[in-house]
Structure 1
Amino acid sequence: MSKQLVLHSLSKKYNKSEKFANKNINLTFFSGEISTITGHNGAGKTTMLNQVIGITKPSKGSITFNGKSFVTESKVAREYVSMMPQLHAPLNGVTMSQSIRSILRIRGLSEKEVKKETTKILKELAINDWKDTPGQKLSGGLRRLTSFAMTVAYPAPILLLDEPTNDVDPIRRQIIWKHLRKLAKSGHIIIVVTHNLLEVEKYADRYILMNNGKVLEDKRLQERSLESSRLNKLVVNFSSEEEALCVKLPKSLNHTYNSEEVAHEFDIEAEEMVAGIFWLMQMIEEKKVVNYSFSPKSLNETYGEMINGDDEE
């Protein structure tokens, strides 16, 4: 049975003179899936994570999991939630292995279990070679991986991760996401804050776009993929600006003109595809087009459009 973390009308205002850090957040997170949260710095993402784990108390709203309130019972929140913060864990003076072992002891594991789980996570993340290296001698990426290992070695039902792949090399970024997928399949709720939209498209089940403390968009990535296949981008470059401005454009297609590239850019729905291609072939035949590109519209482009179109309060 799927477990749910429910955020209802969640809001935070630090004092009366400031605007809301986040406002009326209504989200439900499900076990078995990886949810990603994206948005500009200051969009309210980290504030929301801190509210879930009980570090920041909401000004109003509720956070519930399995019938328990994380707002009224902050100790309960820390029993059910593990969080990897954006900042590096303070590792000076302790080795990678010692850092992981200390967290497992805090969670109540026996010495035998601590040894077993530490060995397991070091191997799974391919970081065993640095297990005895003091924290101050680890690179930024290895510090990040240590923090990740401390979060997932004996995972809580709910895992919150703030920019988990920052500074991490490309190979181990894949290892991190594969490990998160494994945890999701075993029934954990995974919530990842990230600016890396390429990783979101490749690995996540769902993305949530935030700006100015509000949720602008909440999409399943399967839906996003279908939408991308219906919405395509056609960029047509012309031989001169005069040619581009004088050419007869198809009425049915929305477009913008890019003077730097001497190009018209079209967003084309699936049902308009034939008209777009027919028009393009005509332009090529008339030798007005220098080159063109035709591709599905990316999540990165959609993200930029939505953020730019969202007015400040």
Structure 2
Amino acid sequence: MQNDLCIHSISKSYRKGNVQANDNISTCFSAGEVVALTGHNGAGKTTFLNQIIGVTKPDSGSITYQGHSLVKETKVARSLISMMPQFHAPLAGVTLRQSVESVLRIKGVSGYENKQLTDDIIQELQIEEWANKSGEKLSGGLQRLTSFAMAVVAPPPIILLDEPTNDVDPVRRKIIWRYLRKLAKNGHIIVVVTHNLLEVEQYTDRYLLMDRGKLIKDSPIREVNLGLSVSNLLTITVNNSLDLNDFPEALDMVINDEDMQYDFELTHKQVPDALNWVLRKINEKEVVNYRLAPSSVNNLYGELTNEE
């Protein structure tokens, strides 16, 4: 247990105790596993990570790793932990490559080793094409990948990531998850905040769910049924109002007349028939475009927490 990152009954409130961000949370994270942390926006996930890294002090409870109190020894916490924040790192005026090199210099890595580690992570993420492009000129997805590279280059024992795949293209989303699995295999503790339950099912070992500051689920993925009834969102844009009498079965439908947009909630089994219908309507020039994506926790949260 000494090599586990253990959280013991931490609580944190704001606004003179009126907002309970974290409420008596206890859990442990072990080397070699990728743990997903999810829950509704405002559930307390970011506050939880900030307490682990020592940015926010708990009102009560303790956080320990290798005999250290990370609550009392905040400098030790920041030497043992790397965190990718929810928002992009400030990259204006520096290139993608320079951003990664700067982080390494802060860690005391310079010269040839700095260059080699920077080259390695840029190649791993397949972003060589943009390595020398100034940060403010990068797309949101590339800024996110830059932040990820800064967090995992020369990685410490513990890595915390707050929504690392947001805005990232599908190909590099998979690269990010594969890289995290490699880090876990090499003995790192990996905790990832994500709203994508399909990625949770596919890539992580454990699943933690927070609700209103409480930790309400902490289970291995193999024991958690994430096969929820609503798992995909199909959005189509049309020229004119559609006759939906021939649309295949769906769980729910929302029509936005102003934007000429239809949203369908689909199970995995309903997706093929729905896509065949959409493609037929495109050929008939009734559908302008469509998008199919996994439902986020925001869509699925009511089902997870039995909320109406």
Gaps of 5+ in 1: 234-257, 261-297
Q: In structure 1, what is the Cα distance between the partners aligned to 2:127 and 2:197?
A: 26
Deviation at 1:309, TM superposition (A): 4.0
CA 1:259–1:56: 2 relative to 1, 3 Å: closer
Deviation at 1:110, TM superposition (A): 2.7
CA RMSD of aligned residues (A): 2.5
Q: Give the TM-score normalised by the residue count of structure 1.
A: 0.74
2:75 match: 75
Whose helix fraction is larger, Structure 1's or Structure 2's?
1
Q: Aligned to 2:215, what secondary structure does the other structure show?
A: strand
Amino acid at match of 2:20: F
Amino acid at match of 1:169: D
The one-character-per-residue Cα deviations of 1:253-286 (angstroms, maximum 9, x if unpaired) are xxxxx999xxxxxxxxxxxxxxxxxxxxxxxxxx
Q: How does 1:237-252 map to 2 (within 5 A)?
A: none
Indicate if the aligned counterparts of 1:39 and 1:210 stay in contact, CA closer than 8 A. Answer: yes
Deviation at 1:299, TM superposition (A): 11
1:191 match: 191
Deviation at 1:41, TM superposition (A): 0.6
Q: In structure 2, what is the Cα distance between the partners aligned to 1:171 and 1:205?
A: 21
Q: In structure 1, what is the Cα distance between the partners aligned to 2:73 and 2:198?
A: 37
1:307 corresponds, among 297, 301, 305, to 305
Q: In structure 1, what is the Cα distance between the partners aligned to 2:219 and 2:302?
A: 16
Based on CA coordinates, which of the two structures has the bigger radius of gyration? 1
Identity %: 58
Deviation at 1:135, TM superposition (A): 0.3
Indicate if the aligned counterparts of 1:2 and 1:32 stay in contact, CA closer than 8 A. Answer: no
Q: In structure 2, what is the Cα distance between the partners aligned to 1:299 and 1:49?
A: 21
Q: How does 1:1-313 map to 2 (within 5 A)?
A: 3-224=3-224, 304-309=302-307
Deviation at 1:173, TM superposition (A): 0.1
Gaps of 5+ in 2: 231-250, 254-294
Q: Aligned to 2:14, what secondary structure does the other structure show?
A: coil
Q: Aligned to 2:105, what secondary structure does the other structure show?
A: helix
Q: Aligned to 1:21, what secondary structure does the other structure show?
A: strand
Deviation at 1:20, TM superposition (A): 1.2
How many corresponding residue pairs? 246
Indicate if the aligned counterparts of 1:201 and 1:299 stay in contact, CA closer than 8 A. Answer: no
CA 1:203–1:259: 2 relative to 1, 3 Å: closer
Indicate if the aligned counterparts of 1:207 and 1:220 stay in contact, CA closer than 8 A. Answer: yes
Deviation at 1:222, TM superposition (A): 1.4
